[in-house]
Structures are given as C-alpha cells and as structure tokens.
Chains A and B, each alone.
Chain A
Amino acid sequence: MTVDLTQFHDAFFEESFEALDAMEAALLKLDVGAPEPELINTIFRVAHSIKGGSATFGFSEIASLTHSLETLLDELRSGTMPVSPEVSELLLRSVDVLRAMLRAVQASQPIDAQRVSDLQFDLEVVIARRNAPPPATAATDTAATACAAQDSSPRWQVRFRPYREMIARGNDPLRLFRELGELAEVHVQVDAQTLPPLEDIQPQDCHLAWTLEVAGRICEQEIRQVFDWAEGDCELSIQPISAEPPESAPAPSTASNPAPPASRPAGAPPAAGAAARSEPPAKPESTLAVLGDSGSIRVSVEKIDELMNTVGELVITQAMLSQLGGRFDGPQAEQLRAGLAQLERNMRELQESVMRVRMLPISFVFSRFPRMVRDLAHRLGKQIELKLTGEQTELDKTVLEKIGDPLVHLVRNCIDHGIEPPEKRLAAGKSAAGTVHLDASHRGGNIAVQVSDDGGGLDKTRILAKARDRGLVGPNDALSDPQIYELIFLPGFSTVEKTTDLSGRGVGMDVVRRNVKELGGKIEVESEAGRGARFTITLPLTLAIVDGQSVAVGTETYIVPLISIVESLQLKHTQVSRLSGQGEVFSFRGDYLPIIRMHALFGVEPRTRVLHEGLVVVAEGDGRRIGLFVDDLLGQQQVVIKSLQANYGHIDGVSGATILGDGSVALILDVPGLIRIASMRAAA
C-alpha cells in the first residue's frame, strides 16, 4: 500500500540540483571567521532537505553523506566550530560530490564510492577533532543542546494542514511524524472534519489535518526542519505552549473531531506537564504563522511549449483574418477592421506574455562562475576578481541552457590565457588582481553577453605565426586585426604551447562559435595589446520567433533573419565580375563577395535574371559574407519559426519555415548554411 515514488524522482533531482546551487552560492559568500548565521542556515536547510528526499527515495549513500554534512553544519551553526578555510573547502567539495552522486543516481550509474568515502572520512575527521574534548555525540544531541540555549520551550503546539496535493507530491505525513517522533515525544490529534465520503475521495488527495504536541528538548527550528521537505505543500504553525494557558489554549479541542474523541485530553500531556511549569513562559513572538508559498509554481517545459505553439498558430490565423478583413467593403467593414486591429493588439500582448513565461534571468548561468573562477584562480596561482553585471537580463530558457557552455569556455580562456600572473601584472604597472567581467544587456530584440578581461589581450603575432605554420594563411597574406582575431575561431586552433587541462587543446573557440551560431547568434572579439580582450555574444531573445526581412524571388517569399543582414543594394554592371572557378562575385567595400542566385538555388522562375535589375542582400555568417540575389525586398516582420526538421527533414541553407498572413509557407534562410553552399560550389 505504498505510493510509487519513482514518479517524483525527476522533481527531487531538479529541486536538489537547484538547492545545491543555492548552497554553493551561500558557501562562496560565507566569510571565514565571521559567518553570517542566515547563510549557515541556508546551507543547513539544503543539506537537510536533500537528506530527507534521498531517504524517502531510498538513496541511502546520499542520505548518509548529507547526514555527516549536517552534523558538521550543526557545529558551525551553534558556533562551537569556527568556519575555517579548511572547513569551507570541505563543504564546497561536499557540494561537488553530492552533485556527482545525484547525477549518477539520476542516470542509474554507479556512484564513485571512493570519492564519497574519502569525503565522508574527511568530514568525520573534522567533526571528531572538534568533539575531541567532550566525547563524540550524535548529531541530534548536539543540536538539542545548541538549541536549548536559545529558545527551547518544553512544549510546542504544531498545527499542520497539508495541502490536498501533498501526498501526491511524495510527502507522506506519516514519515514526517515518524521523524519527529525520533526527536521528541509527540502527541498527535487528527482533524478529519473535511474528509469526504469514501466514494468522493481521490486516493492521492490529502483531506486530513493534524495538531501535534511536541514535548522534549527540541527547539522550534528543529521542528521546522522536520517539515522542511513539505515546505510549500502545507500550512504549518508552531507555537510554544506556555505554562499559564494563554487564550489560544483551548484551540486544539475546538478542532472537533467527528470520530470518537481521542482518549487523551488535548491540553495536557501528563509526562511533560510537570516540567513545563518550571520553565519561564515562552516568547510569544516566536509564533510564526504560515510558511508562505514562494508565489511561483513549477510548470513543465512541454506545457509551455505547447502553449507557445498554440499561440503561434493563433498569430498565423490572426494574420490571415487581417488580410482577409482588408478586402471587405460596406458599412460593416470599418467595424470589422477595428475589431481585427484590436485582435492584433491582444494577440501581440498574449504572445509577449507567453514568451515572458519562458524567460529566465541570466543569473541562472552567471551563478556558476564565482565558484569556477575561484577554483581556477587558485589552481593557476592567479588573483582574479569576477565582476557580474546585468544578471537580471532575461532570455529564453532554451537559449539560456545552451549559452552556459560557451560562456564557460570564454571565461576559462580569459583566466588561462588572458589574465597574467600577478608578478607579470605588477611589472606591467597593473594591479596584481586581474578582473574578468561578465555583462548582459538587451540590445533591441537581442541580448548581448560580454566576457572581458583586463589581461594581455590577444597576441596578434603569435596567432598569425601559428596560422602560417598550419597553412591557414599564406606566408605573404596581410591580414587586418579583425581578420587575425577571426583565426582563433578556426577548428583546431590554439596558440598555447603548453597544454593545460583547462584550455589549449584547440577545442574551444570553434565550439563556442558553433554553439552560438546554432542559437542564431554571433560572436565577435575585440582586443587591445596589454589592455585585455572582449568577447561579445549577440543572441536572439528567443528561438521561437525571428525578426526577418522577407524577400521575393519569383512568386515565392523567403525570410532572411535580420541579424545576418549587413545591407541590401542594387548592383551596377561594373561591380560584378566572373572569376574562373569561383562563379560570380561582386565588389563590396573593397572585398569580393560571392553571389548566390536564389532562383537558381531553389529552382524558382524569377522575375529577372539580370543582376542589376534585382537586389542583392549582403548577409553575414561565420565571419564571412555573401550576396543573395533576389527580385525584391518585401518588408520586415517577426515570424514564428516552425521547425522543418520536425515536420519534414533537414535542408541545407534553410533553418525553418513560417506561415505568412495569406496562408502560404515561406522558408527561413540559414545564412551560414548558404555560405557553406557557396564555398562548396566554388570548390567544385
């Protein structure tokens, strides 16, 4: 008669990973020597909730490790052990190990037992060292004495009203009460007033509420910790029961019970009663009402995607109606158009609201860097200050998830290659500590993420020498600075002679660029010798909608993403030339760019085949430019991207499709893909 718990594993893992992130952040803020109690409490709560969850789900190794961790944290919390650098390091290591353990369990892989037992051993050594003068005691004992000094009341009244879905979310009151029973003497009274008739009960709904009297050496916080795991799934109030019965004392008995009355009167448990009278009355201000809900709910991404899709369809239908409405005449036509205009406004608002649901602040990604920078600086013997700005800038969750790795690469590069060792910096007249700056901001419909450092900048001569070495650049080619910087994005390119385990294996910048490109963004680099380098990633806010320029080729319409357009122009005869083996090219600001005739590529009958009668859209991707020959430019609009891959299959040069207002389908062009096609043709 048990609930199948596996269905909650996902939620457990997700919540645990988030909790570990919070714990890590708190640990990094923790000052050695003078820790803030609230931070330690945060860390403690994380360890406790993971312990509770893993015990519920039978992940005993995790539960056992978190138990040791809790013991140590208890010492820190009570102030009996100072926060030393050693302890702080140990706690950070625990975060890593716990994360690895959770990942292993999640993937049904074996846990790295050696690593875990090493850590557990170290934890126990530290705890034992502290406990050496008085013999080691169990965690709960030390907790009780630590609490007793603060606000322990001999008896507590706990009112616990689970929300209906609590059981369905894997929190069984039975387990909570059992845990509480291990800490103190507990008398339980159930309130079954709202229990519906049997046939109306949804078996997974909880219709019961409880009033508990807890007696023993236990403080409010310890009681609260027991219910921690159910936080957000219940109403909970904990009040001390003072010796003189306050006016609220009869409350438990008024919570009447349709079942035969409990055999024991609610007011006075015999065992604790006598002791209670000798204690001073408890502080009334510790009466805390409800564990407030955080004002947010967890929604699966699929549901949001579904919503998004439906809104996308609505946008198309609305565009269709608008177009249709324009053709009507007659007395009612004006009203119809006003209504359609209203619909369009509402549609846009709806679309924006739905998009906002998917948006998360970039701090979700930034938050991993303080730890990483700290560790790297430590290992490389560098002093590094990390500056984060614009953390509240929001972007689409999908984009957010994919931008993490590229940013990690960039930050690693800055620390490894960019920032010089302290002595070198001092010699150059800079401060010993280098600065790595991560910044995010909105720019139009895009988001710009910058990673900059105040290190030595990119070494032009070395990059160029390396490129010549590899035959990537001819021995006598003269390259401009930007062109040289572009070289670092080539696959297999690395200037570092000595390969560290951080970077220098030449799998870095090309992967970064590819990832950014997959998100429809671009990456640029600026550098100044001796002053540092700056990488700027420009990304669309969302992957579901693209700002596009629609172009006409014959009767077809194509969409070119605005982000890849440099400019559009009409060619003159004199600009065009034909190179043997390279096809048609045209001169553009001192460069020769290949021309792709869209009508030829897609097999469409164009309005004109004469280059100077149509238009050329200069588009950029992968650091290269091409000219797309089209009949005409139609207009700029936001289009909802429909995946071709999901509905049809991959086509080179096309990233997706959209449905236009008149119901026809337009292909969205993939400029980097088109450039690949152009270079393949040139090579053929």
Chain B
Amino acid sequence: MAQADGLKAALCALAAHPEPVMLDAAAVQRVDTAALQLLAAFIRDRRLAGRAVRWQAPSAALAGAARLLGMGPMLQLDGAGR
C-alpha cells in the first residue's frame, strides 16, 4: 500500500509533463491491481489531455497481469509480453 502511495505521487508529478513520458517497466517483477489502476488512470488522463505515454520494455509480469485483468488495451500493453 505504501508503495502504491509512492507510485501515485510519482505519477502525479509526471501527469502534467508536456513531453511524452516513457515508463521503464523492465524490472517490474510483481504488480497488483492497485498499481495497474493508477497506471490506467495516469495513461487515460494524459491521453485525454493529448499527451503521450510510452512503455520501455514492459516486463512479462506487468503485461501478464494487465492481460489477466483485461486492462491490456487501456494500459497500451496489449500484445506485449506474451
């Protein structure tokens, strides 16, 4: 939970960043629904504001979790990590 709070703070700081944001997720080994939910909101908010988010080598754990939760498309992770 503390980590989810930390993630939220980190994402909030990036939310209004004018340049496309690159998320480096190569080292993600475990991920939970709370974290994916934050990422989903982050990506959606940025898209609505016309700002891009890109993934840098998302790990299989991340992509797998997104797929299990049916969140691949909204996280722009579809097709990755299969």
Query: Counting CB contacts under 8 A, is A199 at the interface?
Result: yes
B69–A190 touching, CB < 8 Å: yes
Across-interface contacts of A196 in B (CB, < 8 A): 41
A190-B74, A199-B12, A259-B73 known; A174+B68 contact, CB < 8 A: yes
Within 8 A of A (CB), among B27-57: 28, 30-38, 40-42, 44-45
CB distance from B72 to the nearest CB of A (A): 8
A172–B33 touching, CB < 8 Å: yes
A188-B70, A190-B74 known; A168+B1 contact, CB < 8 A: yes
Chain A, interface size category, equals: 35 or more
A1–B30 touching, CB < 8 Å: yes
Q: Interface majority SS on B: helix, strand, loop or mixed? A: helix
Within 8 A of B (CB), among A191-218: 192, 195-199, 201, 203-204, 206-208, 210, 212
Q: Interface majority SS on A: helix, strand, loop or mixed? A: loop
A181–B38 touching, CB < 8 Å: no
Give which listed residue, B1, B11, B71, B74, contacts A204 with CB less than 8 A.
B1
A198–B15 touching, CB < 8 Å: yes
Across-interface contacts of A257 in B (CB, < 8 A): 74
* CA of A208 to CA of B41, assembled, Å: 11
* CA of A317 to CA of B7, assembled, Å: 49
Within 8 A of B (CB), among A246-304: 257-263
Across-interface contacts of A173 in B (CB, < 8 A): 33, 69
Across-interface contacts of B69 in A (CB, < 8 A): 173-174, 177, 188, 190, 208, 210
What total of chain B residues lie within 8 Å of the partner, measured CB to CB?
34
* CA of A192 to CA of B40, assembled, Å: 9
Across-interface contacts of A1 in B (CB, < 8 A): 3-4, 7, 28, 30-32, 34-35
CB closest residue in chain A, given B73: A260
CB closest residue in chain B, given A190: B70
A181-B68, A188-B68, A260-B74 known; A198+B1 contact, CB < 8 A: no
Query: Counting CB contacts under 8 A, is A495 at the interface?
Result: no
CB distance from B24 to the nearest CB of A (A): 14
Query: Counting CB contacts under 8 A, is A3 at the interface?
Result: yes
Across-interface contacts of A168 in B (CB, < 8 A): 1
CB distance from B42 to the nearest CB of A (A): 5
* CA of A199 to CA of B38, assembled, Å: 9
A1-B3, A190-B71, A203-B7 known; A259+B44 contact, CB < 8 A: yes
* CA of A181 to CA of B69, assembled, Å: 11
* CA of A177 to CA of B12, assembled, Å: 29
A206–B8 touching, CB < 8 Å: no
A2-B3, A203-B4, A203-B7 known; A262+B35 contact, CB < 8 A: no
1/0 contact trace for A166-192 toward B, CB 8 Å?
Answer: 011000111001100100000111101
Within 8 A of A (CB), among B59-75: 65, 67-71, 73-74
Across-interface contacts of A4 in B (CB, < 8 A): 1-2
* CA of A278 to CA of B40, assembled, Å: 39
* CA of A259 to CA of B69, assembled, Å: 14
Across-interface contacts of B35 in A (CB, < 8 A): 1
B33–A192 touching, CB < 8 Å: no
- The residue among A1, A3, A188, A258 with the most chain B CB atoms within 10 A of its own CB is A1
A204-B34, A260-B74, A261-B73 known; A178+B42 contact, CB < 8 A: no
* CA of A257 to CA of B2, assembled, Å: 29
5 pairs across A/B with beta carbons < 8 Å? A174-B32, A196-B41, A203-B4, A204-B4, A261-B73
- A-B complex: 5 closest residue pairs judged by Cβ atoms: A188-B70, A259-B74, A203-B4, A1-B35, A190-B70
Question: B residues near A, CB below 8 A?
Answer: 1-5, 7-8, 11-12, 15, 28, 30-38, 40-42, 44-45, 65, 67-71, 73-74, 78
